[in-house]
């Protein structure tokens, strides 16, 4: 059984956010959409391009009512240091959670035990704190924030229109399907 | 721990393929790239649009050396019947696996026990039978074959160029990164 | 110990019935006679002839106060699709239960685990929800609705005349036996 | 899971047969068709009519290559005594197994533990010792040997013609179905 | 530890008694002396001579306030049939309990599991339902009712004269011993 | 299940026999008939009369090829002392086993745990070391050696004539029964 | 951990005392000093000399407020018999407990399981029922009542003068030591 | 079960002996008689008088072939220090074992867990390393070396004359008893 | 996980302090700073120099509000004896705890089980009874009280100034660091 | 029991060392002295002063044949980044191990599970890979490299002169103690 449809498990973590250290818990995932974006480690190679891509789309995400949480098993101190020293990371304005205790990485089933690092996993969480989409790539394959945004829009549309479904390749504004008995076997 | 980096578990299943019933096992995943594409049920609503989208890109996928296996907990008889009766499904030329015993759905952790149906999960598997990417959406959100193809290309590039990494939004032909100690903290 | 004399276990299932999707539970088995009629899979070979035979006798069964529930591990969507596409199945007006979660098939001990399909089992259930007769055939042997009806009549006669017994080959209207001490060893 | 498709478990029992006491084991079920016919108790009411009905059809069954084994939890001594004293039972020429140790009744899942008596269960066993059909009725409902014979004929036909299936109500000589992919969804 | 001095365990059984079927429970053993007389099977060889011997002494036993219960693992139906057909058994007027469920045979530790038959055991039970004497013989050795009666008389004498003991070979009317400290080592 | 038909369990014990201390083991029970005769305690009341009665019949028993072993949980020292001081016990010439470790009393299931004393149990053992008859009386009821001798004669007759059975009240020289199918239900 | 300082465990035993049979329990050990004196068996060799020695000092022991309990795994009947027949034991006026159930021997950890006999153990118990001294000798070594009396006097002195200690070889009336910090390392 | 008759368990300990530190193991107990003499603690009150008493008799003990081992849970360093500072202990020439690891105190069942100190226990060990006598006193009661010597002489006499026993109060040179069957019950 | 940050576990011990025996428990560690100073054994070699060094600094430690507890597995009697006989130890005025039961040594994880001695461990405990620093040396390496005092001063400074940290080599009066977000990565 | 005297457990880790990433295992601890120096996290406050202090003494340590391994649960990537960005850390030339999998922190019992960070622990390891000294401070208390060097010198002296011990406050060149029996209690 996948994590789809399950509620985020309790946790408490320190994060770096806009020049401050803050605490984040599962309560922060209630009442708005969230993206939890795991990556293996600060100061590595794919990671900054993915995080930059996410930042470049952060305004769009915020306009959709989505908060973004990047997570690695590094500390929040290291997140700040990376933020201070990297031109790329410096631009980031979303939350960067430190997970040195592996709690979040275990809760989302992305901890690589032997390495103490997280898989490259993205989770879309609805305002009830329930996971709606999962995406995990092997170590050296980057993710695409546009793809993520499309998926969030579909998830939001489905939540707001519970009797409609988003077909493949659905983009905002495109037609949806209204399931009805008559359609069974007709499509 | 996710399924990323693990080998596909043994299974034996009946499938419908181009007018015939065939047997598929984990051995079929060795020596070429595979996509295993779970969907909840035949004769439902999001499913055919997703399957059609996949078919529309099947030639591209084949040119990349990728075989496609769609899987639901329906029987291969039902797959054939759907194929016969639906204009959309009639076009499909890739393999449609029946999983009424839930074996594959359990192996890939996508079985919803209470319903006996699979989550909407996509798995990219390399020629060693090892899972390289996972994507799972909640019930009513469709997938996009273009996104899948981009991810496969990145996975193939990384496999063929083990000392390079594909950054975020990487598209075929775009620049990659060569990890080196000098780059640490420089990006 | 067989299931004879035991009460039907709790379940909740989706079914196709006369152009609608309905929910069926064990509560539906109280207060009237029921036949639960398992078959392996939609769109297969023996099955439609058995189901048609049952439909042909459905009026008789209803006149005896009996409701009929056909069950396979297919979904109710597939049941509808079969209903729509098969000349034979189109005629069916009794309830067709989908059991993709295997709950009912397990409750009645007819699930073939390796296949995820049900044995060809028929169960006669009295108005207390208690199983009075079981019949199970190997895969390719069809059942006969007349035989079923005779058995139901005998079961009903015995229930209404608790101090009589139906001898072998008993048909409605035939003589029954009144067990008495004097008969012991006399027949 | 039902007993259909499983091999008869090992046992050793004493039986009364044509004026002699003989031993019967599971080995006797190999190489010919067998009917194992459980009934609750000697010197009771439904039982003799069922046993007589079976005897009346014993020649037919033998001509089909079928041996018949009636079984109750009485001893073989009691079987002989019943045979000696009852006009009905005196006619019986098939094997009457005594099962006071409950071994066979447990092996075939028909023992009513609280009573130490067997359910009214019939089992058709093929020449490999594998169970092909099961029928069990609640206490006061008799069985019909004609129904049994029809079922045996269907089972034999299917065994001899492994690529055909017997539809519902199939009688000897009637048409069978040859499953083929083209028929899927066509019936 | 033997069963001597222990109370009879609860049971419920059907019995044949003077042309009627009655129910017997452990409550019937309270308030009078009882003999429980196990034998292997109806319609066998030693058994009827033992049962006849018991019947010949039944008046004496009744005059001593003793009820007799013969028990085999046969049913009460078989007991009646034996009673009807055997010149010897026809004379019996004490209770014949059927124990096809093996409950009583297990309670008195005389069940031969492999055979489903009882050992040839006799139990003398006092009016408190407590076992005072046990005798068990291997299969082909008969018992003697006179010996039983002598033992009951001794048991009754001891119960009525709690400060006396019956020496070996004690017969009714013979001298008993009054245990006293002075006798220790003197006999 | 009773001890009837089971082999005597291994033990090693000290005994008093004709002015000497000897060791007795289960090996002594092979190759001849044995009587093991438990009694509660030396220097008590019923016991010496029982032991005297046994001694009075010891010649007869020996002529039947039977050795006698009296057993209590007293030591062999106490057996000798009793032998020395009691006019009755002085006459005894059979073996008196001491069982202070309770081994034999436990092996024959006659130990009263709370008291550390044995029930008044007699066991007849055949030349294979297998128990053929058991008799146990509550504390104050004596046994009768004549009864024992009759039972041994029956047991020996049955062993020597395996196809005959001794009916009730059988005495040496009396007729036996030859079980045959024709006799079933005839006696 | 030894039994020193632990309270005597509950027990109930029969004993021979001055021509009577009495019951003894752990309650008898409260309110006065007790000696529990185990020996292997009545009618053996070291034992009577030890018991006689104890009797010769019984008046002295009683004058010290001490009751004496001799214990073996023999019965109280055997104790009486030994008392009656032995010139030595006849003199004994203290309590002789029978322990055939091994309860006391187990409570005081002196049971030799393989033999069912007690070790030659002496226990001094204070008026609170707490064990103050233990002495156990191998089988053939006798004990000395004078040594026992000296030890009891020392134990009584210490109990009455809790701030003094009895040095080695202390005899009644001799000097004791008053422990004080100044003495540490000074003796 | 007591330690009487059991072999000393393996151990390795440091000891102070005549101005040297030596190692002692269970092997040292083989081939000669040993006394193991536990006491609670160095620099306490009863202890030195006991140890001095033992030293005063050490020549006698040595002449009997006995080695003496005093043991407390103190270290061998503390033993030396006590030896150096105490006029009493300075005289000691036997072995003083340090048992700070509690190994020996546990092996001889004299450790008081709550205190980490040993009970005041004396053990006589024969040349096979088998314990022949145990004596344990509560905390403030001293022991007497004369008593110990008498017991060792009796133990040695019994070992050298296995067919004789030392009666109570036996002193060297006194008569012993030769157990024989004739003596049973005669003493 | 180390003991740092954990509260001292409950214990009760006897100690020698300024010519008296006193009891010490974990309650004594509340309300002031404590040093618990384990050493292997009294009357050994490194130990007295370490204990003397500690005494030489005891006034300083007391002026810092610190109580000192030296602990070995010796008894408090031995501590007194050492104090009496050693010129070095005589000077000691802090508490010397005896731990023969190994309770404290186990609580602080410094017991060497095989030897029954403590490792050379020092623990600094704050006024809440919480361990703030641990130092353990192998057997023959001495500790330095100056180092201990510096560490206590740093611990006290940190406790009194919770928002400052003591850098490496910090000595009383030296500058501390005030952690602030701005300093991250700046030092 | 502490880690003193135990061998370092197996591990494999990535480290940053002089501009390269290297692998370190327990094998690297054999054949030379090692210091393993845990600290909580890169980019924090006490840590850099401690690490700088260690670097300032690194030449001295190397001249003593000691290699230094600093360890935190950060990755080796983060170590490099800290090295690149901090003036203090830039100077470091010893090995900086990354322990994101917590393996080493667990092996040395310094992992704070709730935080995923290591305690501030220092371990001195001899050329056999055996731990000789442990020092752990609570979070905000720095360590002093001079103290460490003194302790290493003492450990080396003791290893090279196994029959001498280093007293408290021992500094290189100072007198040591030669333990001898005569010294016991003399210091």
* CB neighbour list of residue G136: distance below 8 Å, 6 or more residues apart: G110, G119, G120, G121, G122, H2, H4, H133, H134, H135
- pLDDT band for position E96 (cuts 50, 70, 90): very high
Q: Is there an interface between H and C (3+ Cβ pairs < 8 A)?
A: no
* Confidence category of residue D46, pLDDT binned at 50, 70, 90: low
Cite the active site residues of B: 47
Could you tell me the pLDDT band of residue J181, with boundaries at 50, 70 and 90?
Answer: low
Q: Parallel, antiparallel, or unpaired for β A66-72 and A95-98? A: parallel
DSSP conformational letter for E138: -
pLDDT over 60 at I156, yes or no: yes
User: Residue A151 above 70 pLDDT?
Assistant: yes
Would the CB atoms of G85 and E185 count as touching at under 8 Å?
A: yes
pLDDT of residue G13: 97
Instruction: Output b/e per residue, E67-85; b: 16+ Cβ within 10 A.
Output: bbbbbbbbbbbbbbbbbbb
pLDDT at H165: 78
Task: Indicate whether B183 belongs to any domain.
Answer: no
Specify the range with the lowest mean pLDDT, choosing from B118-132, C68-82, D33-47, H5-19: D33-47
**Cβ atoms of F78 and F86 closer than 8 Å:** no
Q: Which residue in chain H is spatially nearest to F21 when comparing CA positions?
A: H181
Q: Which range (B46-50, D16-20, D181-185, I173-177) has the least confidence?
A: D181-185
Give the model's confidence band at A168: pLDDT under 50 very low, under 70 low, under 90 confident, else very high: confident
The pLDDT tens digits of the residues spanning A10-30 come to: 999 999 999 999 999 999 999
Q: What is the pLDDT of residue H175?
A: 80
Kindly list the catalytic residues of D: 47
Which chains share 3+ C-beta pairs under 8 angstroms with C?
A, B, D, E
Residues I31-48, mean pLDDT to the nearest whole number = 90
Backbone CA torsion sign across E121, E124, E127, E128: negative
Check residues E143 and J187 and name the one with the higher pLDDT.
Answer: E143
pLDDT tens for B112-170 read 999 999 999 999 999 999 999 999 998 778 899 999 999 999 999 999 988 887 778 88
Write out the catalytic residue numbers of A: 47
Mapping DSSP to helix (H, G, I), strand (E, B) and coil, where does residue E133 land? strand
With a cut of 60, say whether residue I61 has pLDDT above it.
Answer: yes
Residues of chain A in contact with residue I185, where contact means CB-CB under 8 angstroms, are 77, 80-81, 84-85
Please give the mean pLDDT across all residues of chain A: 91
In a domain, F3, yes or no: no
Give catalytic status of residue E47 as yes or no.
Answer: yes
Between A19-28, B112-121, C13-22, F39-48, the lowest mean confidence (pLDDT) is in: F39-48
Active-site residue, from J13, J47, J54, J71: J47
Higher pLDDT, I167 or A86: A86
Contact indicator for D69, D24 with CB cutoff of 8 Å: yes
Residue C180: its pLDDT value, please?
A: 67
Tell me the per-residue pLDDT of E59-95, one tens digit each, with 9 for 90 and over.
999 999 999 999 999 999 999 999 998 888 999 999 9
Query: Does residue B175 sit within a domain?
Result: no
Between these two residues, E185 and J14, which has the higher pLDDT value?
A: J14
CB H65 within 8 A of CB H40: no
Say yes or no to pLDDT of C181 above 80. Answer: no
pLDDT of residue H181: 66
CATH code for position J58: 3.40.30.10
Phi, psi of G186 (to 5 degrees): -95, -15
**Is pLDDT at B177 greater than 80 in this prediction?**
no
Q: What is the pLDDT of residue A20?
A: 95
**Residue B141 domain flag:** yes
By C-alpha distance, the chain C residue nearest A182 is C19
Asked whether the beta carbons of residue C177 and residue D143 sit closer than 8 angstroms, the reply is no
pLDDT at I185: 58
Mean pLDDT of A101-110: 97
Domain membership flag for residue G172: no
Q: Which domain holds residue F81?
A: 12-183
Considering only CB atoms, which chain H residues are within 8 Å of I114? 101
DSSP code string of G73-124: SS-HHHHHHHHHH-HHHHT--SEEEE-TT-HHHHHTT-EETTTTEE-EEEEE
Minimal C-alpha gap between D135 and chain C (Å): 4
Residue-level pLDDT at J177: 73
What is the structure's pLDDT at A180?
67
If one counts every other C-beta atom within 10 angstroms of the C-beta of residue C158, the result is 24
Over 60: is that where the pLDDT of I187 sits? no
Catalytic site residue from E15, E47, E97, E117: E47
Tens-digit pLDDT profile for residues C104-156 = 999 999 999 999 999 999 999 999 999 999 999 987 788 999 999 999 999 99
- Condensed to tens digits (0 to 9), the pLDDT of residues H49-101 reads 889 999 999 999 999 999 999 999 999 999 999 999 888 999 999 999 999 99
List of chain J residues whose C-beta atoms are within 8 Å of the C-beta of residue B185? 77, 80-81, 84-85
Q: Is residue C174 part of a domain?
A: no
Band of residue A45 on the pLDDT scale cut at 50, 70, 90: confident
F85 pLDDT more than 80:
yes
Closest CB to B115: pick one of C44, C101, C116.
Answer: C101
pLDDT, chain B, mean: 91
For residue G72, the surrounding DSSP H or E stretch is strand G66-72
Mean pLDDT score across all residues of chain G: 91
Mean pLDDT, chain I, integer:
92
Identify the pLDDT of residue B181: 67
| Chain C environment of B100 (Cβ under 8 Å) | 41, 73, 100, 115-117
Convert chain F into a string of H (helix), E (strand) and C (coil): CCCCCCECCCCEEEEEECCEEEEEEHHHHECCEEEEEECCCCCCCHHHHHHHHHHHCHHHHHHCCEEEEEEECCCHHHHHHHHHHCHHHHCCCCEEEECCCCHHHHHCCCEECCCCEECEEEEEECCECEEEEEEEECCCECCCHHHHHHHHHHHHHHHHCCCCEECCCCCCCCCCECCCHHHCCCC
Cβ of A1 within 8 Å of Cβ of B113? The answer is yes
Q: Which of H92, H137, H181 is most worth mutating to test chain G (most G CB atoms within 10 A of its CB)?
A: H137
**Structural domain tally of chain E?**
1
Whether I and D touch (3+ CB pairs < 8 Å), yes or no: no
Enumerate the residues of chain I whose CB falls inside 8 A of the CB of residue A84. Answer: 184-185
Average pLDDT of span J158-164: 87
pLDDT at D55: 96
* Size (chain B), residues: 187
Q: Which of B57-71, E156-170, I2-16 has the lowest mean pLDDT?
A: E156-170
| Residues of I recognised as catalytic | 47
| Closest chain A CA to residue I185 | A81
d(CA I168, CA I155): 13
Indicate the average pLDDT of chain E: 91
Q: Name the residue among J136, J155, J177 with its Cβ closest to that of I134.
A: J136
Provide the residue-wise pLDDT of chain G in tens; the chain has 187 residues. 789 999 999 999 999 999 999 999 999 999 999 999 999 999 987 668 889 999 999 999 999 999 999 999 999 999 999 999 888 899 999 999 999 999 999 999 999 999 999 999 999 999 999 999 999 998 778 899 999 999 999 999 999 988 887 778 888 888 877 766 666 656 5
Please report whether residue I177 resides in a domain: no
What is the full DSSP assignment across D23-82? EEEGGGGBSSEEEEEE-S-TT-SHHHHHHHHHHHTHHHHHHTTEEEEEEESS-HHHHHHH
Residue I22: inside a domain, yes or no? yes
């Amino acid at each position: 059984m996948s994590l789809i449809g399950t509620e985020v498990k309790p946790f408490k973590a320190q994060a770096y956010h806009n020049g401050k250290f803050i605490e984040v818990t599962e309560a922060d995932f209630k009442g708005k959409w969230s993206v939890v974006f795991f990556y293996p480690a600060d100061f590595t190679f794919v990671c900054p391009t993915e995080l930059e891509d996410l930042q470049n789309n952060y305004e769009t995400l915020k306009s959709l009512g989505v908060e973004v949480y990047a997570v690695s098993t590094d500390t929040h101190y290291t997140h700040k240091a990376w933020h201070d020293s990297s031109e790329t990371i410096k631009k980031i304005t979303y939350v960067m959670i430190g997970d040195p205790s592996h709690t979040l990485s275990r809760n989302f089933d992305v901890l690589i035990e032997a390495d103490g690092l997280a898989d490259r996993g993205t989770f879309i969480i609805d305002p009830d704190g329930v996971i709606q989409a999962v995406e995990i790539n092997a170590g050296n394959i980057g993710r695409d924030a546009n793809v993520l945004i499309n998926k969030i829009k579909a998830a939001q549309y489905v939540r707001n229109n519970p009797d409609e479904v988003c077909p493949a390749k659905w983009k905002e504004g495109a037609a949806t399907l209204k399931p009805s008995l008559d359609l069974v076997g007709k499509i």
